Amino acid sequence: MNIFGITPSALSEYFISKGENPAKAALVFDAIYRKKATSFYDIGFSERVTEMLQKDFDFSLPQIIEKLDSNDTAKLLLRLTDGEYVETVLMRQKFGNCICVSTQVGCAMGCRFCQSGRLKKRRNLFTHEIVGQLMAIQKEFDVKVTGVSVMGIGEPFDNFDNVKRFCEILTAPKGLEIGEKHITVSTCGLVDGIRRYAELPHPCNLAISLHAPDDELRSELMPINKKYPLSELISAAEYFSLTANRRVTLEYIMLSGINDLPGHAQQLADLIGKRNFYVNIIPYNPTDADCFQKSSRERIMAFYDILKKNGIGVTMRREFGSELKAACGQLSAEQTK
Ligand code: SF4
């Protein structure tokens, strides 16, 4: 088993099953995530325990095939042990280093504006392959990651258990200790997954890729809306916000003439009402098959103003990485094609 895929509780159980003190799990987490150990020989256990760990776990990380780096953004193309590829992105921001991780090879959801959605889903990533993206970034760029978006290739709630374990490993005390509020899981709208996520003891943040304020348009842009229409999605998002006592982010990519008109902004404000949601406006990033255009700055500002006037919290995402094809919706791991 790969050591980067094991949660603290599973590692404690492993030690118990071997007749060892479960407190050793915290020492392992401290060594691999804080002290950057690359082998069990670096931890200081007895020879017997070290050999046992060395036999039962491996330390391998995904192999870096390509590295692109430009000012505030970097992207790694990684090869997994079965020859599949994924991409992961680092954004160097004023307040820390954030990464965007992938959760699947390809994606089954087929959102029309998304390059990743053009690659059919090949498989889910294992927990260690998601954690491995973070570890590869930290090692390659010598940075400490302080924020994580689960927003790369794939739909996280279509790989729920591995994403859940990923969050447990990242937030574990004595490990990376990234706070729950610094990790955001973004879904295209799998309502069952949102409700299950809301009921976790310590969920991280939730973002929903909304991108349209009515069912007709949303179903055109995002096929998942035919299965889970807006009324069900909004009610699940509200359930999360009330259960976890957290504000939900609604991601909204601005597509010129499609979803960016003043009427759309008003519809969106009415849809949100008094709920504890806010809107993150994302400028569209061109992809290969472009039937969409970027909205003008004026159109975006008008949309922003209407939301504000209606008392809706709204932010505009800074554009990161479009020159590296590392921005939202642009990840593809082209080798997968
Ligand atoms: S936006 Fe997300 S869910 Fe939709 S196709 Fe792209 S990767 Fe999949």
pLDDT digits over 4-25, tens only?
A: 999 999 999 999 999 999 999 9
- Does the pTM exceed 0.75? yes
> 337 pLDDT band (50/70/90 cuts)?
very low
Residue with tokens 């330390």: 59
pLDDT score recorded for residue 119: 75
pLDDT at 234 over 60: yes
Question: Are 71 and 116 part of one and the same domain?
Answer: yes
Q: How many folded domains does the chain comprise?
A: 2
Please state the atom number of ligand 1 nearest to the C-alpha of residue 114.
Answer: 6
Question: Are 125 and 37 part of one and the same domain?
Answer: no
Question: Are 207 and 154 part of one and the same domain?
Answer: yes
- How far CA 91 is from CA of 24, 184, 323, in Å, comes to 34, 15, 13
Enter the tokens of residue 205. Answer: 């943040």
Question: Are 205 and 80 part of one and the same domain?
Answer: yes
Give which of 320, 244, 302 is closest to 277, Cα–Cα: 244
Ligand 1 site residues (CB inside 6 A) read 107, 109-111, 114, 116-117, 153-155, 188, 209
Question: Are 41 and 177 part of one and the same domain?
Answer: no
Last residue of a domain, one of 39, 56, 73: 56
Q: How far is the CA of 113 from the centre of ligand 1 (A)?
A: 9
Which residue range(s) make up the domain with 165?
63-336
Question: Are 137 and 188 part of one and the same domain?
Answer: yes
Q: How far is the CA of 115 from the centre of ligand 1 (A)?
A: 8
Give the pLDDT mean for 145-156: 96
Please state the atom number of ligand 1 nearest to the C-alpha of residue 209.
Answer: 1
Q: What is the pLDDT of residues 65-98, one digit of tens each?
A: 999 998 889 999 999 999 999 999 999 988 899 9
pLDDT score recorded for residue 329: 57
Q: How far is the CA of 163 from the centre of ligand 1 (A)?
A: 15
Please state the atom number of ligand 1 nearest to the C-alpha of residue 152.
Answer: 7
Question: Are 175 and 137 part of one and the same domain?
Answer: yes
pLDDT at 221 over 50: yes
Give the pLDDT mean for 87-114: 93
> 333 pLDDT band (50/70/90 cuts)?
low
Give the separation between CA 29 and CA 31, rounded to whole angstroms.
5
Please state the atom number of ligand 1 nearest to the C-alpha of residue 153.
Answer: 7
Question: Are 319 and 272 part of one and the same domain?
Answer: yes
Express as a percent the part of the chain with pLDDT over 90. Answer: 83
Q: Are 225 and 219 in contact (CB under 8 A)?
A: yes
Give the separation between CA 253 and CA 284, rounded to whole angstroms.
6
Question: Are 165 and 89 part of one and the same domain?
Answer: yes
Q: How far is the CA of 284 from the centre of ligand 1 (A)?
A: 14
Q: Choose which residue among 104, 107, 288 to substitute to test ligand 1 binding: the one with the highest number of ligand atoms within 8 A of its C-beta.
A: 107
Report the CATH number at residue 31. 1.10.150.530
Range in 63-67, 69-73, 117-121, 188-192 the model is least confident about: 117-121
Report the CATH number at residue 317. 3.20.20.70
Question: Are 50 and 67 part of one and the same domain?
Answer: no
Question: Are 223 and 330 part of one and the same domain?
Answer: yes
Three-state secondary structure call for residue 288? coil
Question: Are 120 and 253 part of one and the same domain?
Answer: yes
Q: What is the pLDDT of residues 286-319, one digit of tens each?
A: 765 568 899 999 999 999 999 999 999 999 876 6
Give which of 320, 330, 298, 284 is closest to 115, Cα–Cα: 330
Q: Which residues are catalytic?
A: 87, 328
